[in-house]
C-alpha cells in the first residue's frame, strides 16, 4: 500500500476581510480547507462584526483562520504580511468602496482603492513570489457612462464617472500590467453590484430593505433616497465570492465579467420590497418632488433628498457573463427575488 501524504492546505490572504465580500469569501475558503489570513485595519470601534461568528461556529470547527493588522495605504504593513505568510492566493477586496463618498474623499479613495492594488502587486514582485496568485476586485462602475443600454462584457470600453471608478480602472490596468510585464498570475473580476444581508447600510439595497422594514414596524417614518431611475444588475455576494475562487483556479490569469444579466431600477427594487412587506405603495409627483405614499395610511414614506445625488451618475449597468459561464462554469444561484427575500427576512429577524 502506498504512503498517503496529506496535502498541505492552500494558504489565502484576504485584504478587505471585514467587508461584505471578505466575510463570505473566508467562509467559502475555509469550507474548501484553506488556511486563511485576513487583514483588518485599525479602527476606533469594532469592525469585525461580519467575521466574528466564524471563530466559534461549529460550521467552521476545523478552521484555520487568522487576523493580522494592516492597511493598504501602508506599504510596509503589506510587504511584511506578504513576506511572513507567502500565500498561495491573495484576494484584494479592500477599497474605499462607496461611490458617492469617493467624491467627498477623492485623495483617500485613490490612495486605498487605486494605489492599494499597486502596493500589493509591488510586494509580490519585489519578494519574487511568482507562484502567488493575485485577485483584484474590479468593478462594473468602471464602465460608467455608456452610449447605449447594451449589456457590458470584458470588451466594453471604460468611461468611469466617479473617483472610485477612476481608481478601479487604475487598479484594473495595473493588474493587467503586472501580469503582462512580470508574468504574475494576476486576475481581475469585474463584478457587477452584489448585495446580501451583510451589505453596508449606506448602499441603496440595504438602505431600502432596512428602511421599509423599519417603516412597516412603525420604527421609522420616512426613507430618504436619491436617484430612483438608475438601473443596476444586482446579484448575491455569496454567489460572487465563488466566482472569485473559480477565477483563481482557471488555467491562466484573465479578466472576467461576473453578473446576473438581469437589470432593474432602484424604483423597481423598492416596489418589489414593498410588495413583499405588503406595503401598498403608490408614487406621486415627478422629479425632486416625487414621493412614495402608503395607500393604506395616506402617509408619505419615501422622499427624494438631493444630498444623495452624485456629481456623476452611472445610469445603466447590465452584465454579460457569457465568458464566465462558458469557461469557468459559473452562474448565479440567486435571482432578484431570492436576494430580496433573504435581505427582508434578515431585517425582520433583526427586530424580533
- Give which of ligand NAP, ligand GDD, none residue 318 binds (C-beta under 5 to 8 Å, depending on kind): none
232 binds ligand GDD (CB under 6 A): yes
Among 35, 92, 140, 210, binds ligand GDD (CB under 6 A): 140
The residue among 96 and 151 lying less far from ligand NAP, judged by its C-beta, is 96
Among 308, 335, 341, 345, binds ligand GDD (CB under 6 A): 308
- Give which of ligand GDD, ligand NAP, none residue 94 binds (C-beta under 5 to 8 Å, depending on kind): ligand NAP
139 binds ligand GDD (CB under 6 A): yes
Question: What is the number of other CB atoms lying within 10 angstroms of the CB of residue 309?
Answer: 13
- Give which of ligand GDD, ligand NAP, none residue 310 binds (C-beta under 5 to 8 Å, depending on kind): ligand GDD
Residue owning grid cell 454567489: 239
Alpha helices, DSSP H, located in the chain: 20-31, 52-56, 75-85, 99-104, 106-109, 115-126, 163-182, 204-216, 237-249, 266-276, 322-323, 336-351
* Strand 291-294 versus strand 281-284 pairing type: antiparallel
Nearest Cα neighbor of 235 from 250, 257, 202 is 257
The residue among 77 and 220 lying less far from ligand NAP, judged by its C-beta, is 77
207 binds ligand GDD (CB under 6 A): yes
Calpha distance 244→279 (Å, rounded): 37
Closest distance to ligand NAP from the beta carbon of 261 (Å): 15
Closest distance to ligand NAP from the beta carbon of 25 (Å): 9
Closest distance to ligand GDD from the beta carbon of 10 (Å): 27
- Give which of ligand NAP, ligand GDD, none residue 136 binds (C-beta under 5 to 8 Å, depending on kind): none
Task: For residue 329, give the 3-state DSSP assignment.
Answer: coil
112 binds ligand GDD (CB under 6 A): no
Site residues, ligand NAP (CB under 6 A): 15-22, 41, 43, 47, 71-73, 93-97, 112, 137, 139, 191, 193-194, 200
Q: Give the list of residues 6+ apart from residue 121 with CB closer than 8 angstroms, or none.
A: 134, 174, 175, 178, 184, 186
- Give which of ligand GDD, ligand NAP, none residue 18 binds (C-beta under 5 to 8 Å, depending on kind): ligand NAP
- Give which of ligand NAP, ligand GDD, none residue 96 binds (C-beta under 5 to 8 Å, depending on kind): ligand NAP
Are the C-beta atoms of 186 and 121 separated by less than 8 Å?
A: yes
Nearest Cα neighbor of 162 from 322, 337, 313, 32 is 313
Please choose, out of 6-14, 50-58, 170-178, 224-232, the segment that lies near ligand GDD by the rule CB under 6 A: 224-232
Calpha distance 25→34 (Å, rounded): 11
Are the C-beta atoms of 90 and 82 separated by less than 8 Å?
A: yes
Calpha distance 28→69 (Å, rounded): 22
- Site residues for ligand GDD per CB under 6 A: 97, 99-100, 139-141, 192-193, 202-204, 207, 225-227, 230, 232, 266, 308, 310, 313, 317
Amino acid at each position: 500500500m502506498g504512503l498517503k501524504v496529506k496535502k498541505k492546505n492552500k494558504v489565502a490572504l484576504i485584504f478587505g476581510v471585514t467587508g461584505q465580500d471578505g466575510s463570505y469569501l473566508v467562509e467559502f475558503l475555509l469550507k474548501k480547507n484553506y488556511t486563511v489570513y485576513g487583514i483588518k485595519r485599525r479602527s476606533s470601534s469594532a469592525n469585525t462584526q461580519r467575521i466574528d461568528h466564524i471563530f466559534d461556529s461549529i460550521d467552521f470547527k476545523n478552521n484555520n483562520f487568522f487576523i493580522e493588522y494592516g492597511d493598504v495605504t501602508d506599504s510596509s504593513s503589506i510587504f511584511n504580511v506578504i513576506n511572513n505568510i507567502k500565500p498561495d492566493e491573495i484576494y484584494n477586496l479592500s477599497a474605499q468602496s462607496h461611490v458617492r463618498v469617493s467624491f467627498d474623499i477623492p485623495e483617500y479613495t485613490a490612495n486605498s482603492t487605486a494605489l492599494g492594488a499597486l502596493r500589493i502587486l509591488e510586494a509580490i514582485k519585489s519578494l519574487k513570489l511568482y507562484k502567488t496568485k493575485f485577485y483584484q476586485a474590479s468593478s462594473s462602475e468602471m464602465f460608467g457612462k455608456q452610449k447605449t443600454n447594451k449589456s457590458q462584457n470584458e470588451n466594453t470600453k471604460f468611461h468611469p464617472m466617479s473617483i472610485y471608478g477612476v481608481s478601479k480602472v487604475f487598479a484594473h490596468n495595473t493588474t493587467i500590467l503586472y501580469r503582462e510585464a512580470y508574468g504574475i498570475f494576476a486576475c481581475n473580476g469585474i463584478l457587477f453590484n452584489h448585495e446580501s444581508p451583510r451589505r453596508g447600510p449606506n448602499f441603496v439595497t440595504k438602505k431600502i430593505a432596512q428602511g421599509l422594514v423599519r417603516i412597516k414596524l412603525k420604527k421609522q417614518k420616512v426613507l430618504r433616497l436619491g436617484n430612483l431611475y438608475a438601473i443596476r444588475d444586482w446579484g448575491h455576494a455569496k454567489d460572487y465570492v465563488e466566482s472569485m475562487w473559480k477565477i483563481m483556479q482557471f488555467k491562466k490569469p484573465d479578466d472576467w465579467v461576473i453578473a446576473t444579466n438581469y437589470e432593474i431600477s432602484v424604483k423597481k427594487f423598492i416596489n418589489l420590497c414593498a410588495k413583499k412587506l405588503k406595503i401598498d405603495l403608490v408614487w406621486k409627483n415627478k422629479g425632486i418632488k416625487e414621493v412614495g405614499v402608503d395607500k393604506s395610511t395616506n402617509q408619505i414614506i419615501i422622499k427624494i433628498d438631493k444630498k444623495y445625488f452624485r456629481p456623476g451618475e452611472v445610469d445603466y449597468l447590465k452584465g454579460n457573463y457569457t465568458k464566465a459561464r462558458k469557461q469557468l462554469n459559473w452562474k448565479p444561484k440567486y435571482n432578484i427575488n431570492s436576494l430580496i427575500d433573504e435581505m427582508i427576512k434578515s431585517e425582520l429577524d433583526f427586530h424580533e
